[in-house]
Amino acid sequence: MNDSARVLVAHQLHKRFKAQEALRGLSLGVAPGELYGLVGPDGAGKTTALRIMAGVMGPDEGYARIAGKDPLSGDPAVRSMLGYMPQQYSLYGDLSVDENLAFFGKMFCLDKATFSAQRERLLHITRLGRFGDRRADALSGGMYKKLALACSLLPKPRVLLLDEPTNGVDPVSRRELWALLFELVEDGMAVVVSTAYMDEAERCHRVGLLHRGQLLMEGAPTRLMAEHGNAATFEDLFLAAVREAA
């Protein structure tokens, strides 16, 4: 796939935090309608990679592009093409579900009709409709993540970046979240999900195994398994790759 077909491109990303090198030349590309899994142990550099691609952090070297544009530029058009859900709780806990949605709707300058339609749709698909008045910090872990996802989907982004969205979420909510992601991908959205769960990684169209800031391998999970025939499970494959790299 050439770069022109990719709506999200990361090229040779390097990032250092004092003595620690978080990213060491990470490159990847994601096409519209593709679900990309960024898999790796804690400290592999997943969050840093997503932050740089979301334009909330600058790389030391390399660049990220969303539909050919620099997410760091602050151009509102790029921002509106991008949905980003950080790993940590990042909504306003003392605001209700409706107030959080309304606030982020205003940040994306959605007009009243568009916001209203998006709000209805997102509350419906996230099944949060009944909880409009509930404060965000009174929601369960799974519901909170769904609200964060709904907020990031408000501008109908072309690229969605999710940092460990199912971390601390119960199995039922996890399944619902993944079902939702597949719906979004079917609609043509490019989605990047970071995860430490191997069963989730296997559901992605393509995965990148990230270890110490570098991709150890990348490809469709089934192809990777076939290429490394001695691994019984995807988790074995992953662990073997990490051991080899160490």
Interacting residues toward another protein by CB under 8 A: 51, 54-58, 72, 74, 76, 79-80, 82-84, 86, 88-95, 99, 102-104, 106-109, 148, 151-152
Greatest C-alpha distance within the chain: 56
Name the residue nearer to another protein (CB basis): 86 or 221. Answer: 86
3-state secondary structure of 111: coil
How far apart are CB 103 and another protein at their closest, in Å?
A: 5
How far apart are CB 149 and another protein at their closest, in Å?
A: 12
What is the rounded CA–CA span in Å between residue 226 and residue 163?
A: 28
Name the residue nearer to another protein (CB basis): 56 or 217. Answer: 56
DSSP state of 27: E
How far apart are CB 34 and another protein at their closest, in Å?
A: 21
Name the residue nearer to another protein (CB basis): 27 or 90. Answer: 90
How far apart are CB 124 and another protein at their closest, in Å?
A: 22
Name the residue nearer to another protein (CB basis): 99 or 202. Answer: 99
Measured in residues, the chain has a length of: 246
Q: Which two tokens stand for residue 210?
A: 């990230």
What is the rounded CA–CA span in Å between residue 151 and residue 145?
A: 10
154 sits in which H/E element: none
